[in-house]
Amino acid sequence: MNRTPVVFIHGAWLHALSWESWAERFTSRGFTPYAPGWPGEPETVGEMRERPDAFGEVGLDALTRHYGRIVRSFDHSPVLVGHEVGGLVAQHLIGANLGRAAVAIASAPINDVPLTPAPARLWTPGSGDPASGYGRLVSLPREQFRHVFANAVGPQESGRLFERYVVPAPRRLFTDLGYGGPARHPRAFADTGNAARGPLLLVSGQEDRMVPDSVTRAVYKLYGDSRATSDLKQFPDRGHSMVVDSGWRVVADYVLGWLDAHGIRTRSPW
């Protein structure tokens, strides 16, 4: 008997440490969690803030290839759990039959689902991080984090989350998503018609200002013609920080219950 592996993929402006509570929870339920950082991501938040240069060139292609290699490295196909851009990557991979199942939480939009105007203002041409020297990085100031990311929690909790998890993000990634560019990168697309893929769960927060619930519902409709399992869970009164804030356990436990309901157990007789 082998423990089922789970690969966690974080989103923009968060460090891989953001999955620490989820990793503990999934371990306690019998899974084997992995939360690898993005290519070039330093091991700690402090290092990332002090020396982010190696991170500045990361785009969707590098990100998707990176996690694709990780998923293929397992002897047994893992579950994929992604937040925001990580949710997009998870959908791309499961659509290519990589991964046993996928969960996309507050996922960046895929395919032809329109981008939302509110987040676009965070990475306008003048918003590059001066510390990078080349505008290759986009920082998320504390006030903006509170407004668009952690708007569903109190100011004190928002401040704690900012200090523990928030790091600069590569501008190239946002260009690949379609902000400030003529077209989205091919990696921003997922095969929504693949009937042979594993089950997919889309999760939204109805108070999310970064990736509104309407975006997740529009993505969900794209999977309507596939015979593969595609489910949607909407959490009221939850914002974009739902994977790290004080309500994370409710979301994590729903995901665990969903996996169990679809026959994805903590141990498999491989």
Q: What angle do CA 251, 145, 127 make, to 5 degrees?
A: 135
Span 238-267, average pLDDT: 94
145-183 pLDDT, tens digit per residue, is 999 999 999 999 999 999 999 999 988 888 898 887 667
Question: 0.75 cut: is pTM over it?
Answer: yes
DSSP structure string for 44-98 = SHHHHHH--GGGTT--HHHHHHHHHHHHHTSSSPPEEEEETHHHHHHHHHHHTT-
What's the rounded Cα separation, in Å, for the pair 81 and 8?
A: 5
Question: Of the segments 80-89, 122-131, 133-142, which one has the largest average pLDDT value?
Answer: 80-89
SS3 16: helix
What's the rounded Cα separation, in Å, for the pair 142 and 209?
A: 15
Predicted confidence at residue 142, as pLDDT, reads 93
CB of 13 within 8 A of CB of 137? Answer: no
SS3 9: strand
Residue 57 to residues 40, 92, 161, Cα–Cα distance (Å): 9, 20, 25
Span 14-36, average pLDDT: 97
Span 59-63, average pLDDT: 93
Q: What is the CATH number of the domain that holds 160?
A: 3.40.50.1820
Which range marks the domain in which residue 50 is found? 2-268
pLDDT at 123 over 60: no
Mean pLDDT, rounded, of the chain: 89
Predicted confidence at residue 147, as pLDDT, reads 93
Total of domains in the chain: 1
Predicted confidence at residue 117, as pLDDT, reads 67
Percent of the chain with pLDDT over 70: 89
